[in-house]
Amino acid sequence: MLTALVDRLIPPGEGGPGGVEAGVVTFIDHQLAGTFGAASTWYMRGPFAEGKPGQGWQYAPTPAGMYRHALEALGRVVRAEQGKGVAEPGAAKRDALLTRREKQPFDLSGLPSSAFFELLLNNTIEGYFSHPF
């Protein structure tokens, strides 16, 4: 599912490789398996209140936990709506589905789905423009 999402955020084109071809999925996987995913250098004690944009991460789950919950929830929502997974419909349908899901919140175990999409977009951009590992 992550591959399908990254593919739509930075699709392949005539100007260069897309996010998948550039290794963004591997980058995100490595980030989530390390200190970033575990938030091991962050202050992660509550209370977790809705913060202001400049206050940084204000959620109880780590980034890896956010991905885990969000991808599972998104998969449930998409299967309930379409009877298929995110990766199965064509690119245009995936774009429409993801745009709608980004703007219409879905149940993410009490977390805002917009926070996941912001995290995913930021990590995708970081992976695309970072030095290969």
Dihedral sign for Cα atoms in the order 20, 125, 104, 46: positive
pLDDT of 55? 78
Longest dimension (CA), the chain: 48
**Does 121 score more than 80 pLDDT?**
yes
pLDDT value of residue 88? 67
**pLDDT at residue 133 above 60?**
no
Residue 132 has pLDDT above 70, yes or no: no
Q: Where is pLDDT greater, at 104 or 72?
A: 72
Find tokens 């897309």 and name the residue.
18
Q: What percent of the chain has pLDDT over 90?
A: 37
- Angle made by CA atoms 128, 64, 110, in degrees to the nearest 5: 115
Mean of the per-residue pLDDT values for the chain? 85
Q: How far is CA 31 from the centre of its chain?
A: 12
Please state the pTM of the whole predicted model.
0.85
Residue 37 has pLDDT above 80, yes or no: yes
